Amino acid sequence: MLVVNEPNLSDRCIPSIFQLRSGQAPDRFSQGTGQGKYRPRNPVSTPLYKIVEDYWEIFINSYDDKFQEKYGFFRPVVKAEMEKYLNCGILRNGFIRIKCPECKEEYLLPFSCKDRCLCPSCAAKRSVLFADFISNEVIEPVPHRHLVFSLPKIIRPYFKFDRKLITMLSRCAYDSVKEICQTLFDKQVMPGMIIAVQTFSDDLGWHPHLHALITDGIFDEKGVFHPLEHLSLSYIKEVFERKVLIGLRMKELISEETIKLILSWHHTGFHVHHETRISAGDTRRIEKVASYLIRSPISLEGLSYNDQNANIT
């Protein structure tokens, strides 16, 4: 049991101003007396933090000249999220004191930014909580599939300059699966589907695609589950392809000639990939996939930064 903000703590428990400015707490706050030790992270020491700290001001001051043409106008949400990340996990920006009434051990817990993607620490926590929520409160104990919907490079820029179009992608993916299921069962049915949009590739390039956790079957009007014997990915791809192209055409972003050009290619660039099938009741696999759906685009394990020669790998 933990008690937050104990009023009877003495001044000796409060770190000095120097320690707060440096983002460090005394040893007594970072070491516990049992197996459940609190080991505070040190965000300012990570390569990501150092990169952002060194180049953030340079980036925003040169954005209009160097990046706007390729990536579109500078969105206010980017600045807000970046500033939250720079303040995350640092004691001088605020904290709570936590004390165990049984062992009397206490420590300071700095406030976190709760950023949805940039901060690796907060994103990791968010993905764990999301996976637990999906597994225990959303998913029915039925078989599932993990599908990935990809787009051709020729139409990806439209989604970069108008982020509202990404909502259309999710709707097209769901409607494609639902349309096929209704065709197979010849009645009104409802497939279960959780969709997460990821806009990045492994090298952090612009690559909008969808990860979907779908039921390997449908629910009828009475809520009874009916498994699918076979789900044609090529058919899903064709329907998804058609819905996306029609959606862009209705918004007057592409012409009929562009649609004919894309459809004339042997490989149109649209793709629906089956990642894995999950058996009914396999909670561990569900949590693993759910966690992956909202993963952070940046992994600290694969990032290094040499501030002497500005080399980032």
- Co-location of 74 and 152 in the same domain: no
d(CA 161, CA 163): 6
- Co-location of 94 and 156 in the same domain: no
> Does 121 map to a domain?
no
| Mean pLDDT for the stretch of residues 111-137 | 88
- Co-location of 159 and 270 in the same domain: yes
Q: Cα–Cα–Cα angle for 276, 163, 178, nearest 5°?
A: 40
Q: Comparing 250 with 19, which gets the higher pLDDT? A: 250
> Does 286 map to a domain?
no
> Does 23 map to a domain?
yes
> Is 86 a residue whose pLDDT tops 50?
yes
- Co-location of 93 and 193 in the same domain: no
d(CA 212, CA 290): 9
- Co-location of 57 and 101 in the same domain: no
> Does 136 map to a domain?
no
- Co-location of 106 and 146 in the same domain: no
d(CA 244, CA 171): 9
| Mean pLDDT for the stretch of residues 170-196 | 91
> Does 128 map to a domain?
no
- Co-location of 53 and 32 in the same domain: no
What pLDDT sits at residue 8?
A: 37
> Does 184 map to a domain?
yes
Q: Percentage of the chain surpassing pLDDT 90?
A: 45
> Does 301 map to a domain?
no
- Co-location of 177 and 259 in the same domain: yes
> Does 48 map to a domain?
yes
| Mean pLDDT for the stretch of residues 30-37 | 50
Number of domains in the chain: 3
- Co-location of 276 and 146 in the same domain: yes
Which range marks the domain in which residue 59 is found?
43-85
| Mean of all residue pLDDT scores within the chain | 84
- Co-location of 101 and 170 in the same domain: no
d(CA 210, CA 198): 6
> Is 278 a residue whose pLDDT tops 70?
yes
> Is 37 a residue whose pLDDT tops 60?
yes
Q: Report the Cα 15 to chain-centroid distance in Å.
A: 35
Confidence of residue 252 (pLDDT cuts 50, 70, 90): very high
- Co-location of 55 and 94 in the same domain: no
What is the length of the chain? 313
Confidence of residue 296 (pLDDT cuts 50, 70, 90): confident
- Co-location of 155 and 272 in the same domain: yes
Confidence of residue 27 (pLDDT cuts 50, 70, 90): very low
Decide if 302 contacts 311 (C-beta within 8 A): no
